[in-house]
Amino acid sequence: MAGISKSNDANSMGGPLANKTALVTGGSRGIGRAIALKLAELGAGVAICGRDSGKLRATADALRGLTERTFWQTADVTRADEVEKLVSAAEAKLGPIGILVNNAGIGLFGAAHEKSEEEWDRVLSTNLKSVFLVSRAVIPSMIRQGGGDIINISSLAGRNTFAGGGLYCASKWGVQGLSGCMAEDLRDHGIRVSVVCPGSVATEFSGRGPKDKGKALQPEDVAHAVEAVVTQRPGSFMSEMHLRPLRKS
């Protein structure tokens, strides 16, 4: 199922990302929604995907207040066939994707030896396999364009271990390794691959315990980091950015 607004050659409102097209996975809520809105505010046409059509539609409505170039589609980004359809449809409506934000993710916590194979597959497929599948689908177009930005939303759990974090940490450490190798593979094509690693963020995400929302990062903090990445001067890139709340909870 998809929803489309009118497509223009450029965002009539202008901005530093005018004439750019961005795709944000997991873009219907939380961090993904904040990133999508920020990119639209900067002038990009924005495509979002997720599994909840109601929330996708609501976010698309908010995006239309910032850009006429919006597209949304329900998609399971752990399935190659659905990813290919998503990217093809988004580019058909908005033009070649020049910014990809791999944000889709879940968290299941507890001792690794107490987790099922199904839980392992679910976390690794959503958090890591999806990065591989969506990036693979978008990169050929970026190579033809002569450049692009791929931003993978990881976590400080991709750098640190903790009790009960076996599945989640494994997935995020995998994102770190994949991102670093992709950066080396693609830099000669003018494609910048960056990782943003937030600490605790106040969202609906099922974290490992209760959060003091007053001391947690906000989704807009992560969106601001993505803004810094995509507006970086040509010829350089931020390979990895760590975000921490100012005050510890």
92 pairs with which residues across the strands? none
- Residue 248 maps to a domain: no
Active site residue 85: no
The CATH number of residue 238's host domain is 3.40.50.720
Please tell me the pTM assigned to this model: 0.91
pLDDT for position 212: 67
Q: What is the pLDDT along the chain (249 residues), one digit of tens a residue?
A: 555 544 444 344 589 999 999 999 999 999 999 999 999 999 999 999 999 999 999 999 999 999 999 999 999 999 999 999 999 999 999 999 999 999 999 999 999 999 999 999 999 999 999 999 999 999 999 999 999 999 999 999 999 999 999 999 999 999 999 999 999 999 999 999 999 999 989 876 555 555 666 778 999 999 999 999 999 999 999 999 999 998 876
**Residue 72 in 3-state DSSP?**
strand
- Residue 230 maps to a domain: yes
- The dihedrals phi and psi of 17, each to the nearest 5 degrees, come to -110, 20
* Domain tally, the chain: 1
What is the longest distance spanned by two Cα atoms in the chain? 54
- Residue 249 maps to a domain: no
Q: What is the Rg, in whole angstroms, of the alpha carbon atoms belonging to the chain? A: 17
Q: Which of 126, 168, 182, 202 is catalytic?
A: 168
pLDDT for position 215: 78
- Residue 150 maps to a domain: yes
- Residue 141 maps to a domain: yes
Question: 27 Cβ partners below 8 Å, 6+ apart?
Answer: 33, 35, 36, 46, 47, 48, 49, 50, 56, 59, 72, 101, 103
- Residue 32 maps to a domain: yes
pLDDT for position 11: 40
Query: What residues make up the domain containing 60?
Result: 2-243
